[in-house]
Amino acid sequence: MKKIANYINGALVEPKSGKYFDNIDPSTGKVYSLIPDSDASDIDEAVEAAHKAFPEWSGMSIEKRSKFIIKLSEGIEKRMDEFVKAESLDNGKPIALAAQVDIPRAVSNFHFFATAIIHFASESHAMEGQGINYTTRKPIGVVGCISPWNLPLYLFSWKIAPALASGNCVIAKPSEVTPYTAYLLSEVAQEIGLPPGVLNIIHGTGPSAGDAIVKHPSIKAISFTGGTQTGAYISRTAGPMFKKLSLELGGKNPNIIFADCDFDDMLSTTIRSSFANQGQICLCGSRIFVERPIYEKFKTAFVEKVSRMKNLAPSDPKSKQGAVVSKGHMEKVLSYIELAKEEGGQILCGGKREVLPAPHNEGYFIQPTVIEGLKYDCRTNQEEIFGPVVTIMPFDTEEEVLMMANSTQYGLSATIWTSNLKRAHRVADQVQAGIVWVNSWLVRDLRTPFGGIKASGVGREGGWEALKFFTEPKNIFIKQ
């Protein structure tokens, strides 16, 4: 059985405990590799290596550092096929999605921040007759990057790339349920000769390896993406240690559809925004609000299309709906479907686990599910499900839909469908979200700020925001 290794101080090593746990293929329910069960002693070793590497890495010319990060990008690109297969196998996502989105985006993330750092400039503020302020931006030191399982390498690289580009040394932990592409990344880091200690990738559980990162006194900043509860715990733990925190958390995003939208464009995009990656993208629109004049037309067309979506093995190039990530997650999603029924919801399609032919008969497949008849404020419509489950609800006025859209604790993203430009501006302005798409979904420009408000997070990633997070500004005033 393949054993995944930690990557510490430039070497692929076993966890100090010598313990491993199972890595399961979600499409079969079978173990296919073993994950290091790392703990605080592995993190200590990695932090020591990172500290040693920091002076040289942070003092290196930006051009030279940038070249290393471009090589990471190219190293993944060279092994594209292997990364794509690994991501699909580990996560249960359709191989076509990993090939079109996950791995190309990880390649772009490294490339983007490798070049962005060359153009990243600090500010100066002249005070007439008095002097000049100039602000320097220095790397923080050793930083922690903790990422979730839904877009494993994509989100991992979204943190590691700006952290490294701005001169920090990194202790990174991928989710224990999807460690494989992070492991392949450590092989790439070795292949390209990244100086030892600059990047350290430690595998293990959240409460053990993750917690040790959060609590380590020498790790001065934590960039975390994951659930809101975990984010709250990290905040409680790292806050009193005065660590810099970037928290990208959960969502319950509204998809607001007005009667004057381009119906066909809206319909095909809404299929994607509801069910891409089995609904396990933090930006998926899980609450669909439809203006009453087109509610029945939408319902009929949407349900007809969703009913035709089939769960297929993730390795099948035709697959658009794979498996959800784990047995525990499948059970959680199915329990929400039961809750929806108890709350008075009608299942318009899906609603069940799907059993595929062997060898996938024990895989974690859930039929894409559409539910109607629920109140906007019931638990199904307030809590994050993070699976292939959406609710549809009619509305009559802008005020009403904004009230419903803004009623959750979350504020990550929102989608608005209308051909009325004034309304688009008005609703985009008032919807409580950090990211709004009008007549589109998931169009991403890496320069834009990415993140949520309310319980969806603190801080922003992307572009200058990420480079600012991973550097400390110092203002210096010089008298004229």
Task: Give min distance, CB of 247 to ligand NDP, in A.
Answer: 8
Should residue 177 be labelled a site residue for ligand NDP when binding is judged by CB under 6 A? yes
Task: Give min distance, CB of 96 to ligand NDP, in A.
Answer: 20
Should residue 465 be labelled a site residue for ligand NDP when binding is judged by CB under 6 A? no
Should residue 149 be labelled a site residue for ligand NDP when binding is judged by CB under 6 A? yes
Q: Give the range of 24-32, 124-132, 141-149, 470-478 binding ligand NDP by CB under 6 A.
A: 141-149
Q: How far apart are CA 289 and CA 282, in angstroms?
A: 18
Q: How far apart are CA 366 and CA 295, in angstroms?
A: 26
Q: Show the binding pattern over residues 404-433: x = contacts ligand NDP (CB under 6 A), - = does not.
A: --------x---------------------
Give the nearer residue to ligand NDP in terms of CB position, either 73 or 280: 280
Task: Give min distance, CB of 146 to ligand NDP, in A.
Answer: 5
CA distances from 29 to 91, 184, 331, 360 (A): 12, 22, 13, 8
Should residue 181 be labelled a site residue for ligand NDP when binding is judged by CB under 6 A? no
Owner of token pair 């007005």: 258
Task: Give min distance, CB of 433 to ligand NDP, in A.
Answer: 11
Give the nearer residue to ligand NDP in terms of CB position, either 47 or 146: 146
Alpha-carbon 345 to chain mean position: 29
Q: How far apart are CA 58 and CA 56, in angstroms?
A: 6
Q: Show the binding pattern over residues 345-384: x = contacts ligand NDP (CB under 6 A), - = does not.
A: ---------------------------------------x
Q: Please provide residue 279's backbone torsions phi and psi, each rounded to the nearest 5 degrees.
A: 75, 10
Should residue 457 be labelled a site residue for ligand NDP when binding is judged by CB under 6 A? yes
Which of 193, 207, 328, 359 is the binder for ligand NDP (CB under 6 A)?
Answer: 207
DSSP string, 147-176: --SSSHHHHHHHHHHHHHHTT-EEEEE--T
Which of 45, 176, 291, 372 is the binder for ligand NDP (CB under 6 A)?
Answer: 176
Q: Show the binding pattern over residues 220-239: x = contacts ligand NDP (CB under 6 A), - = does not.
A: -----xxx--x--xx-----
Owner of token pair 């701005």: 166
- In terms of C-beta distances under 8 Å and separation of at least 24 residues, what long-range contacts does 445-451 make, across chains too? 446/108, 446/109, 446/112, 447/116, 450/248, 451/246, 451/248, 451/412
Q: Is 248 labeled as catalytic in the residue annotation?
A: yes
Q: Name the active-site residue from 176, 282, 291, 461.
A: 282
Site for ligand NDP in 230-289 (CB under 6 A): 230, 233-234, 248-251, 282
Q: How far apart are CA 295 and CA 245, in angstroms?
A: 42
Should residue 326 be labelled a site residue for ligand NDP when binding is judged by CB under 6 A? no
Q: Give the range of 41-49, 54-62, 104-112, 207-215 binding ligand NDP by CB under 6 A.
A: 207-215
Compute the CA torsion angle 102, 107, 111, 117 (nearest 10 deg). Answer: 50
Q: What b/e string do you get for 197-234 counting C-beta neighbours within 10 Å, with b at 16 or more? A: bbbbbbbbbbebbbbbbbebeebbbbbbbbbbebbebb
Q: Report which secondary-structure segment, H or E, holds 232.
A: helix 228-238
Q: Name the active-site residue from 45, 176, 248, 461.
A: 248
Task: Give min distance, CB of 398 to ligand NDP, in A.
Answer: 26
Q: Please provide residue 35's backbone torsions phi and psi, each rounded to the nearest 5 degrees.
A: -110, 135
Q: Give the range of 24-32, 175-183, 374-382, 466-474 binding ligand NDP by CB under 6 A.
A: 175-183
Should residue 452 be labelled a site residue for ligand NDP when binding is judged by CB under 6 A? yes
Q: How far apart are CA 383 and CA 380, in angstroms?
A: 6
CA distances from 48 to 303, 339, 395 (A): 55, 48, 57
Residues tagged active-site: 248, 282
Residues contributing to the site for ligand NDP (CB under 6 A): 146-150, 155, 173, 175-177, 205-207, 210-211, 214, 225-227, 230, 233-234, 248-251, 282, 384, 386, 412, 452, 456-457
